[in-house]
Structure 1
């Protein structure tokens, strides 16, 4: 392909400049008439508008600063400036410093919700002796207060005569939680600076209030005469539409400028230049444009030739420098130019050279200083081109010994060399890296080294040259550890097998021991039931002895009376003796009948309890009757003890359940309270309570006021064979049987509440209808076959 014709940068720039100048000259005449002069007038308008904006901005900045100072003053007290009917002294002190230092404030005062002045501060340097009695003044007619009361933000006012200092001021009022804070600023202080600034720049600056009355003018008498200029065109336009351009006659001179309205105060600011000065710029613009164009043509042509020559010279230096960098000559002198773009190009070339050199040094450091990664670089003939220190340490060959040799000359055998050359050919063909893979080779000392290797291609120094990088990690130690681990795993498997056999034997021994413990537990449960049965029989015999003995005594006495009556009947019977005999017969009959009925009641209750506990049959019964029967069986145990048994079980709680297990639970809980809770005390109380619950359930509790159960023992009281009276008659099965009966047969739950010295309460919560599937095929825990 034929290369395009090259042009020097100098002639290219000169040709472009001539073409631009020719077009520019053709356009200048038309643009001067139809664009330059109108544009100059527009520029003059913009300049006038800018000057007016500057004046407005000066006033705005002053208002903003004033507003910020008052906001800071309002926030100086956490509870608000007005506290009750007085002003926070700290706020008042800050306000006094503010009016003394700012120079613009005429007064700051605080007004209550009733529009009465609570307090005020005035500039110390001025002093207003006539204001001493202004505290308490009524400012309800002040318009700014009425506007502030309608919102939550600061409100500015137009000029008014201050009720405190009797000077023209503008005010700002800030609403407070319990009143207002008002600051008054001198009108003269607001406008004087801007008016004087305008005079220094040959600029007329006028200020009017919202009614068009002059409040600021170069003539100090204008505000005093209260001159109104609202009829002038720019002032009237600004009052209507915020800004307006026009002319004003002032003191016999014409001024042209902009009038702008200040929204916060409603004032109008006019800034204008003398009319002859405004028109002079248009005339000068026409002349200047012509002169500048002619001068620019000549000077630009000459300057363009010089610049083009200089740029070309610097570009040639940059080209020479880049060619030196491409050759690897990083020490070449960096060119220096004062042309920004060329200088940036030279700086970029220098940074590129430094970055390339730094990366080469980094790569060299990685290759040379890597402690564990051996790096070798090979050419297409598999000859060593580079050899880092890690390769020397791993393989035992120095860099000087390895450079220029092939692996077969160092550490590979013939077959490994052939495989390695095939790998290099494959990488060169596909461009894809090979590995990582594990391999073995022998070092200079003849020892076998296991390596973890990866091989990939990199560009060579020439465009079509390819080099191959081989990175190796010595994993000989890992291989040794793997062998040791395999050996250790084999030993561990043997140990685990032996330990498993030992555990099986131990499990068998534990199972036999567990079976023996269960058998022992069953025997202990049976013995405990037999002991309870013996205690029941003894109690029955004791309870029956009294009523039967009384009945026997009554019948014996009746027999003796009958024998005596027969003897008297043979000797002759008096009426009184017959009456006495009849009375004795009635008394004996009554005593015998009552005691035999008592014995029959006891026998019936004992029989029902015995039948329930022996059969564990399900039936429908009333809870109060079952509790009454159990209490009767426990009377022999508690009759001669100092402990009282109280029962509070309402009638009407009907159960479809197992009275035998429930009675056994109740008896065991009462005996547990008597033996463990109250034993050894001079007095005590055992209380049985019951109540119906929601959800078809009932609660039955047995409590005592004994010594209680320690917290660390409460979780163990239901464990089998756990007792605090070991060797004193306690088997440790009572509460275990109770827990199993409640949670198993009765389908409920058992809870314990106790504190040391405060007694204990066992509460069982069970359904009114016991679950049926829990009793099928097995007797309840703690029962014995008849």
Structure 2
């Protein structure tokens, strides 16, 4: 029951999240559409204002309006030739742009001195009686606050003539710049009325259902609305036609976010940005800001909400069905799981018993392996003792024979002295005794040398301390102990050790490693009566490293054995009584006791100088490396 409730809760939660995510995606798509419309409309509007500014500056800088003679004229005193010159230039300038509705030049009292109206590519010059005084109009008062050469833009409104709104409506914006008597024919105000009906029509035509474009002034009145009857309320004395009245929530939100934003009200997404702030405020004139809105049709978000709810319902039902199916299957297999758990428990007990037996076998195998290693070391020591005994036999036998000859000479000398010795006999007897004693001394010195080598080698093999030693002495002692074995084969052992290679290590282990490698080459690398070379080389590799190589030109190591060569009980000579621990122990000694590295290369039937080469890298101080 609890699982079912949890399942329903999480199904509902996931369905609600999916619903919200799908709806948010639709809203974001709509926001992107509206953002693109806002950006395109704003760019178009700012481009139009930029062209108006350029037109006014171009008009103000023309020679036809300039005071070239230094004369000063007062309003109605302007000579007729200058008046005609200005009118002709206004007509020519106005025909250059179809968007110019009116060009005027007012004096500083607001009286129109020159006015040319443009309509349907026709220019009409206002007669003196038609010229009006605009001193009471807001744009004249604001424009006179902006000193030249700065430009004042009036807010957008409808064109008014004789205090009446011109019909059909003429949406206009006025750009003004003051003129002075020093630079122009008279002091006053140049005004360009710029027609915006085509611009607003183009913007309205660009509206789509997802983004219906609206333009609102700072008071909330519409300058552009999908419904024309809502436009220009401030000009038509209809104060109720404002965004503030129609959507107070949106108006308040826009007032709190003057930089732009978006808001959803009644399934309508409204996005807005500031469209333009008309220049002049920085020079003392009033300013006004337009807001550009895009509003979606309520059907889009309502449809998105309904679709997301349907999808969420499908997800909820699917998850619920899947969950109930899983619960049913879980209940169905519960009894089977219980039976399997009981069976598993019994198998675990059996596994523990078998594992214990396996551990005991591994322990016995390890013990056997250790015993074999010790036996291998003792066997090696036995062979070394036998070799030393063999080497001692020759010098000791020679010494015994020399002493025996000396005794015989002494007896002869004694006998001659009893019978009456001559000087010649005495001299020959003494020389014979001295010669035999000297030969005995030489043989005994050889025996003492062998004994010293053997003693040093035996002590090193059992010494577990790290001591300072010389590699060339270690190898020399080893070669002496191996001479009896080498005499039975046709393989030459070449010693190429750099002198003065001193290191702190275990010399007995180094000797054992080299002996195992040499014996391994003799046992596996060469057939009986086969000639060959085993070379031992050593050199300093780095300041703290020594490199030792043992190479032979024998038969090489089979490719199949190379990957497991250093594992225990791996051998190619098991039929000869080998057990496969030699190279395993070499690897253990080098890496564990000497803190070194062991590697090899081998190629059967190769063309290189050596078929197999073992490389040992040892630190100068093995004890310090092991501690580190």
- What is the TM-score of this pair, normalised by structure 2? 0.48
Larger relative CO (CA 8 A, sep 6+): 1 or 2? 2
- What is the TM-score of this pair, normalised by structure 1? 0.39
